[in-house]
Every structure is written in structure tokens, then in C-alpha cells.
Structure 1
Amino acid sequence: MTDDEHEAVRDLLAAWAFGALDPAEEETLAPHLAECESCAAQAARLRETVRLLDGPEPSAPAGRNNGALSLALRARPTGPRVAAHAAPYAAAVAGLKALLPELEGRWTTPVVHDWDAHATVAHLLAADEHLAGELGVDARVPPSRIEEGTHWEDAWNRRSADVIAHEHGRTPEETVADWAAQADALLATAQAHDPELAARAVTLMGMRLPVADHFLVRGFETWIHTDDLGRALGLAVPPPPPEHLERLVRLAVRVLGLALGPTAPPVLFSVTGDEEWVLGSADEPVQAELTLDPYDFCLLVGGRYAPETVPRGQNGDAAAVRNVLERAASLSWL
């Protein structure tokens, strides 16, 4: 098999982990996994991650020789049982924990922005700190020295940089242990289990939202950075399961609608397989239509797509569509 053919097979692995291949692709992949140890190992890791994300649990077609995969595909424990609003965060935490062993000896790998893998986990330690502090979880990093009254975005960037600098003076294993302990403590709070307690609105990182939605934001960011790490390592990271992706999309649409405001040129917006929303003015006729895949929409809001490159369907006023795409991309602080 040539290198190009080998790469084409590896591109099928994430879909295989979700049981989403068509029969022709199954016929291509099955014999390759039986012969290629590296792809078989990656396939095993991906399917384990799917299980940890509490997504669909595909079963192997009758007659497939699972060989090297049989041991690795045994059932694994899922993340902690929490209320629906905290489930995407629990799943994302479990997904990152499943990926972390792949980073052994590779912590200096460049990942995103100017961060290496160690800094990326340190950033998540800092990012979770805001909700953790609000819910009474003990701090895992030194207190912030940023002056009160600093604009939230400047304060956030400086705090993230300070935590990364601090963690670079420690071992990656110490950083991972503190991130995991803080995430587990967040998922053990009463607010992660009780929707009524999680209905209280608080302002964190410039957004006044119910605590339940802040758990969704944590899940969104944790998944985004897990995907960043996977890409840096050349490993495919499955997207969130559909029910979690739907929650993330709905929250992102609400935030985008608020960011656009009531005077923007109205655009009929939809994501594949979901409902439609009119973004912008409610007093004018719709000027354009825009459709995005939910996964691509989340990557756009997460700053992983440029407005001009995100795959989309559109018609009508191009300027109105561009306004929505640019505003969506501008929401990212990840």
C-alpha cells in the first residue's frame, strides 16, 4: 500500500469508531486493520474514546477478524454520571484523559497559538479556574495578581499566560494531575448534578449565563483543545456525540444572536439537521440564508476556521452572510 493510500485509510478511522462507514469503506478498512499495527492501535484508541464520550457504541460486522483490537475494545468506564447540562463537560474531560497517554515524551509538541502540549493543558487548568472558584472548588494554581477592573478579555489573556508560565516550571505530570483533580471536583459539585442549582446566572469571562451554560462552555473548550492536541499528534479525535453537539450549537447560536444584536441585517441561519433561527433584525425581511454543519459551526465559533474558509451553503446578500460568519469567528477566546 502506498503512503497516499495509507493516509486515505487513516482518514476513515474516526468514522469507523462511530460505526459510520458505508459497506465499501468497511471492505477497504477491515483487511488493512488486520495487517497494520499502527492503524489498529489508533482505531482501538478512537473507539475507546467514543465510549468515554458516551457516544454511539458501534458493533463490529459479523465475520470481521478483530485480532489485535479485541483486548483494547473491552468496555471502559464512562465519565461520572451528572445532569444533562454537565454531561458534555464530563464527556470532554473523559476524552482528554483518554488522549493524555499519547503525549508521553511529546509534551513539547507545538499545538496551537504559541503553546506546546504542556501549555495547552495548563491553559485548560486556568480556563476551568473561573467556574471552579465560583462553585467553591479549591484553587490549584497561585492566586491571580491582575488588578480588579481590568477588562475581562485582557485579564483572561494575562491569567492564562501567568498560569502557563507557572506550569512550565513544573512537570507535565503535575499539571495534568491538577487539571484532572480540578475537573473531577467540578463534576462532583452539587451544581453539576442539580439543574435547579445550576440555573443561577453568574458572569464569567465576560458572559452572564446560568451555571448550567457555563458547564457547556467548559465542555466546548475542553473538546476544542483535545482536538487541537489530537491534530498536533496526527491523531483523529471524534467530535462530541450528537446530543452534546446539539447543546453546544444551541448555546453558540444564542451567544451569536446576542453578539449580532437586533439591528444586524437579518439572516436565516440553520445547521444541518436542526432548526432554523433568524439572526439579526426582526423588523426587516430576511436578506440571506446560511447553512453550516454543526461540527464546522462549533469550530468556527471556537476560532478554528476563518470566516472565508468554513464550508457552508449560502444564498442572498453576501455581505449579510459575511457579517454573521465574522461575528461568529470573533467570539472565540480559546
Structure 2
Amino acid sequence: MNAPLDPGRDKTPGPDRADRPDRAPKQRSDAPRRDAHVPPQGGPQGASRSGAPPQDVRAAQDAEGHVYDHNVLRSLLGAWALAACSAEETAAVEAHLTDCAACAEEALRLRDAVGLLHAEDSLDLDPMLRTRVLEGCLVRRPARIPVPGWAAPYDAETSRLDALLRDMAEDEWRAPVRLRWFDGEGEAERTTTVAGVIGHLLAVDGLVATALGLPDPLGRAARLPDGTGAPPGPGAGPGAVGGPMGPVARTEAFWALEDPKAQGSPAARERWRDQTHAMVRSVSFTDGDVAGVDVTYGDFALPLRDAFLDRAFECWMHAEDIAEAVDYPYGPPVPGHLNMLVDLAARQLPGTIAGRRRAGLAPPPRTLAPAGRPGRTLHLEVEGSGGGHWYIPLDSPGATASPEDAVAHVALDGMEFCQLAAGHVPPQDAAAGQDGDREAIRDVLFAAASLSRL
């Protein structure tokens, strides 16, 4: 304890105290100050409550004549460090700090501690934390039974959607979801529920499941009204369209089978998840040996590898539809998977352009390019981490595309290209960088939008 201050002693700092006024920083001029005055403790100056002489009577006086003893000033150091003192208390504390080494050191420690404080953070987890952790696991953790590379996007996207559905509340399953697509001529849409979207995925994924020899979720309802339409089994060759219902008819049939009272039930998630796991296990145990296996979509067929990519793309897009309906953030696939999905869409463009011409929705080709021969080409550049460069034959799906025969160049952001292929962006509104033949560019943009369906 310091010796009592002699009232008659000159308070001018001596040589050994010349630097003490700078040991504690001054109060910030713009800091808020406490309005309430804290009165001196211990009764009259110079005496304790018991009447005994105080141990330390070092004091400071403010501009209005209020006198603060050492104990009161020391008790104000915490408030001073937090800029919570009134103007009078601040002046008294700072005057005291120039004369009391112990309090000056304590003030420095308190001011340093205040610097470590920060505003209160929300205790809620970052809504994107789950997505980042799941993506890290999917990329880094090797599976005990390796999944074929072409099935990995489907495995990842179904896992991400399942993680979103797992914590969904009962009433959220009934949330309205707006499904959008491009029907070849204009925008189309359908409103259903979250449970309805999962039922749609279950029904259309059933086309791939049956191609692998797994049970059809529609059962006998998968047949056409005339009793035909049993889907071809494993090993069916290209073009073996056995007459099964397409995605739209299967979805309508599944929705009609469901009990209206169960439309909002999360039970659909269990059936859908079990089917996705069975599909991934099936191709994993076959070591990817699926040559010659096609998946029939009613009026067209896809190789099994492309069908898995197609289902991964639709799962991602419908997961975003669900996330938007329940106000939950949802990100794109990892770059490697996104590139595979963009590549599938780009490879489907020549056939889609030809189909639109047969339907009278696009002008005939300007030149005839036999299969295997060079023809007019469009350079499609998709920017971003999952993008790349593709050369699209314009005159015939069988024509050879080459950079030397490019008559137009289109540049699109990767996410915008996927939104266009999903029918979420009208082709005339696609913010594409365009150069060259305008008719060829229009054909490709409309063909990209025509890849979408319910």
C-alpha cells in the first residue's frame, strides 16, 4: 500500500514520475459516458465508517470540486476502461492516474482486456455449415466400395438433398413448391408440395431403378392403360423403347396413387432414400460394368451412365426448388461434378436441335452435313469452375464439329447455363455473350431450355 498523500506536498511529478501520465491512455473523446455520478464511498473524506483513519487517502478533485478518494477512483477503473464513466468521473480518474502508479498499471491491464471484447455473436449455426461439411466429406472420404465416377454426382446430390430433408418440420413438408420448365415454346409451371417433389423424384428415378433390375416404385401402375409397357430389363440395347410411361406420366400416376392425407408426410423421403441407396449400391457392386444398358424415358433413351447424370442434375434443381420454398440456403455441386452435368447438357444439344426442327419449332438446317462430315459449328463457352468449351454441330447430330467451322460463339456463366437447361431462365432472357450467326445462337439457346421437363 502506498504511503498517505501529504496534503501539503507539491503534486508536480518528479524525475522518477515523468513518464507516468502516459502509462494509461486517455479516455476516448467520442466514447459514451455514464451520466450517473458515483458518490465517494466511506463517508467524509479522511475517515472510514468506523471512524478509524483510512489506509490510503490519496484523492483527486474534479472541476466542480467533488473529491474522490483512492478507493472510489480504483473502483471506477473498470467503468473508465469501458468508457462508461461520466465526464466528471473520467476527469477525476485520469487526474488520479498521473499520480498513482498502481492504478495506472491496473488501468492499462483493463484497457487491454477491453480490446479483447467484441460484439455478441449469434448462437445459431451458419446455415451453410452443413453444406460445407458434407461437401468436404463427399470429396475427401473414400468409400469402402468405390462408386463409379459417373454415378458420383448422383450419390452426392441425393446425399445433399437427404441432409436438407432430414431436419424438415412436419408442416414444411406441405410447403408449396413451384416447379418450372420450358415446354419447347414457352414457360410452364406446376405447384406441388415438398412431399410431392420427392414423390416425383422417386417415380422418375424408378426408370433407372428398373433398368438395373430393381423394383419399380409404381408397381403395376407403371403399365400403360392397354396393359403394355413393361420396361426393358438389364442389357436392353440402344433404342429398346419398350413403351414405359415417360417422366410426366409416371409422376402423375404416382401422385394419383398417393393418399391425399399423406401428401404432406415425410414417409416419401424414406422410400426415395432407400431407392437411391439401392441404385448406387447396384452400380458399385457391378464395378461399373453397364455397357449396353439403356434407360428408356418413354420417347427416348439414355445410356445408363448419362441417365445417372440426368437424375443428379434433376435432383440438384429440385433440391433448390425445395430450399427456396422453405427459405434455406443451397449451393451448387462441387466443380468436378458440375462439369459432368454441364457436359451432359452440351452433348444433348445436337439431338435436341434436330428434334425441334422435326417438330417445326426451329428452321431447317442451311446446309446438309452427312454423318461424319464437317458442318456448321457453334462454340459454346461455359465460364466458371465447372465450365469448359464445347463445339456443337448445328446441321446434323451426326456431323463433325470443329473450331474451324464455327459460325457463332456463345459465352454463359456455368450457373446460368444450368438454370437455362433446367427451364428456370427463358432462352430469350439468357444473359449470354454472343458473336456470329444470330439464328444459330437462338437455336442453341432454345434447345438448351428445351432439355428441361417436369
Q: 1:153 to 1:182 in 2, by over 3 A?
A: closer
The yes-or-no answer on 1:35 pairing with 2:121 is: yes
> Is the 2:377–2:391 Cα contact (8 Å) retained in structure 1?
no
Q: 1:244 to 1:138 in 2, by over 3 A?
A: same
Identity %: 30
Q: Distance in 1 between matches of 2:453 and 2:243?
A: 11
The yes-or-no answer on 1:131 pairing with 2:208 is: yes
Q: Distance in 1 between matches of 2:434 and 2:144?
A: 39
Q: 1:184 to 1:151 in 2, by over 3 A?
A: closer
The yes-or-no answer on 1:82 pairing with 2:147 is: yes
Q: 1:146 aligns with which of 210, 221, 224?
A: 224
Q: 1:178 to 1:215 in 2, by over 3 A?
A: same
Match in the other structure for 2:318? 225
Match in the other structure for 2:379? 268
Q: Which has the higher contact order (CA 8 A, sep 6+)?
A: 1
What is the root-mean-square deviation in Å for CA atoms of aligned residues? 3.1
Match in the other structure for 1:319? 439
Letter of the 2:176 counterpart? P
Query: Residue 310 of structure 1: CA displacement?
Result: 2.6
Partner secondary structure for residue 388 of structure 2: coil
The yes-or-no answer on 1:303 pairing with 2:423 is: yes
Q: Deviations over 1:107-165 (max 9, x none)?
A: 11111221111100010010111110111112333422423479979743222012123
Q: Distance in 2 between matches of 1:141 and 1:203?
A: 16
Query: Residue 35 of structure 1: CA displacement?
Result: 2.0
Q: 1:100 aligns with which of 165, 172, 189?
A: 165
Q: Distance in 1 between matches of 2:324 and 2:281?
A: 30
Structure 1 range deviating more: 144-153 or 167-176: 144-153
Letter of the 1:271 counterpart? V
Q: 1:297 to 1:251 in 2, by over 3 A?
A: same
Match in the other structure for 2:130? 45
Letter of the 2:413 counterpart? D
Q: Distance in 2 between matches of 1:237 and 1:294?
A: 16
Letter of the 1:97 counterpart? D
Match in the other structure for 1:178? 271
Structure 1 range deviating more: 158-167 or 250-259: 158-167
Q: Deviations over 1:172-191 (max 9, x none)?
A: 22211110111111011046
Match in the other structure for 1:20? none
Letter of the 2:218 counterpart? V
Query: Residue 192 of structure 1: CA displacement?
Result: 6.8
TM-score, normalising length: structure 2: 0.56
Q: Which is helix-richer, 1 or 2?
A: 1
Q: Deviations over 1:277-307 (max 9, x none)?
A: 1331369953321011222212211212111
Q: 1:42 to 1:146 in 2, by over 3 A?
A: same
Query: Residue 80 of structure 1: CA displacement?
Result: 7.1
Q: 1:51 to 1:191 in 2, by over 3 A?
A: closer
> Is the 2:381–2:388 Cα contact (8 Å) retained in structure 1?
yes
Letter of the 1:36 counterpart? S
> Is the 1:290–1:313 Cα contact (8 Å) retained in structure 2?
yes
> Is the 1:79–1:94 Cα contact (8 Å) retained in structure 2?
no
Letter of the 2:129 counterpart? A
Q: Distance in 2 between matches of 1:106 and 1:77?
A: 34
Letter of the 2:365 counterpart? T
Q: 1:318 to 1:151 in 2, by over 3 A?
A: farther
> Is the 1:79–1:90 Cα contact (8 Å) retained in structure 2?
no
Query: Residue 318 of structure 1: CA displacement?
Result: 2.6
Pairwise mapping of residues 158-237 of structure 1 onto structure 2 (< 5 A)?
A: 158-169=249-260, 170=262, 172-190=265-283, 194-195=287-288, 197-205=289-297, 206-237=299-330
Q: Distance in 1 between matches of 2:243 and 2:430?
A: 28
Q: 2:409 aligns with which of 277, 283, 289?
A: 289
